[in-house]
Amino acid sequence: MSEGKGRRKIFTVLVAVVLIAVYFFVFSEPLRPELSAAPRWTIDLSASVASAEASAQDRVDASAVSFSTASRFGYFGTDGSIGFVGEATGPVPMSDSSYVSAELVPGGTNYSLRSPVGARVAELDASAPFYSSGRLFSAQADGSGVAAYDGKGNRLWSYTFPCQLSAFSAGEGLAVGGTVDGWLEGVDSGGRRAFSFAPGGSRLQVVLGLGVSRSGNWIAAVTGVDRQRLVVLGRGGADYRVASHRYLDSDYREPVRVVVLDDDRHVLYRRADGIGVWSVDGAVDELLPVKADDFDVSLDAERGLALLVARRGKKAEVVAFRLPATLLGRVPLPDGSEYVRLIGSSVYFGSGDSISRFDFMEE
């Protein structure tokens, strides 16, 4: 790289950092006095596309974070270092430890599992690969089955559900499918049926939303139409039993976001008037007044702080709150933020050209 090009690149990144800082000061809503949003860095992806494995090898480590936008995908470090960056024509199935590459061939698509530096790990015998909670799966073509894979691309198990799936979620040792006829069925780490349960209680039985805790101890689902229900199942010995439930005022016909937090105590789910907060035992029933079509959430357990990114159409905002539903502040993200990732109290966001980071800090 020439000295002039190097200076221009540094100047571009510095300008981006300044603009991000100004954006937060001008457009963010007031935060609680004890909380502030501090911009950290911005990295330029347009000048960082790396096709050679050697060029990325030294820049990807255990702290690598995956990203995927409509035009680029790859990995970066939490310190703002850039790892492997590739060009794409759409979102790429990814986790922080691997990603799936697709190659069009006569009669179909060949998939391969690759490392965070782009190195081929293995050919993948899959029809529709995807990740859930960092685990690699593949859906069967008719939508009624799922296969699971290990980190080397070996198929661990294949499981066929009673009918087509309408929802799916996984924890570390449990995968759960929700079917179009209203059944919840769990699959353990060996590919065996862990449980089968039909919540019932509605005129039309269908599972529209599903969340499994990372521990695999709790399952939450939004089920049925007329009336719609939130149902929480908890592990009880070798089986799962209803721990709590409530009827909802909503009557969604489309997928509904449901998340079981890593504290194994709280469930967040989409409501027409915001985001509901429910405890697994039913003792907490609160509302975050944040309307969202979809959302993700991160919990900083040590600080008792939770972050939520709420998406509505092309708009997105990050909401800081304390459980169960004490709002601390909201920060709208710039339009065109294709990628948003929450890790602890840090927010990573961007598009195909750049990624930025800011942290929520307590005074």
Q: Where are the domains of the chain?
A: 163-289
Q: Amino acid identity of 309?
A: V
In contact, 328 and 320? CB cutoff 8 Å: yes
The token pair that represents 207 in the structure block: 């599972």
Res. 49 pLDDT band, cuts 50 70 90: low
Distance CA 178, CA 199 (A): 11
In contact, 262 and 296? CB cutoff 8 Å: no
Asked if the model's pLDDT at residue 2 lies above 60, the reply is: no
In contact, 199 and 223? CB cutoff 8 Å: yes
Q: Amino acid identity of 311?
A: R
Convert the pLDDT of each residue in 283-322 to its tens digit.
999 999 999 999 999 999 888 899 999 999 989 999 999 9
**pLDDT score at 304:** 84
Distance CA 240, CA 45 (A): 46
The token pair that represents 190 in the structure block: 């060996």
Exposure letters 117-154 (e unless 16+ CB within 10 A, then b): bbeeebebebeebebbbebbbbbbeebbbbbbbeeebe
Query: How big is the CA angle at 42 (ends 37 and 44), to the nearest 5 degrees?
Result: 160
Asked if the model's pLDDT at residue 54 lies above 80, the reply is: no
Task: Provide φ and ψ at 41, rounded to 5°.
Answer: -160, 165
Convert the pLDDT of each residue in 15-31 to its tens digit.
444 445 445 444 455 67
Please, what sign has the CA dihedral across residues 247, 251, 254, 258?
A: negative
Distance CA 221, CA 86 (A): 36
Most confident by average pLDDT, 8-17, 43-52, 155-164: 155-164
Convert the pLDDT of each residue in 182-226 to its tens digit.
999 999 999 999 999 999 999 999 999 999 999 999 999 999 999
Q: Which CATH superfamily is domain 163-289 in?
A: YVTN repeat-like/Quinoprotein amine dehydrogenase (2.130.10.10)
φ/ψ bin of 65: left (φ > 0), alpha (ψ from -120 to 50), beta (otherwise) = beta
Q: What is the pTM of this model?
A: 0.88
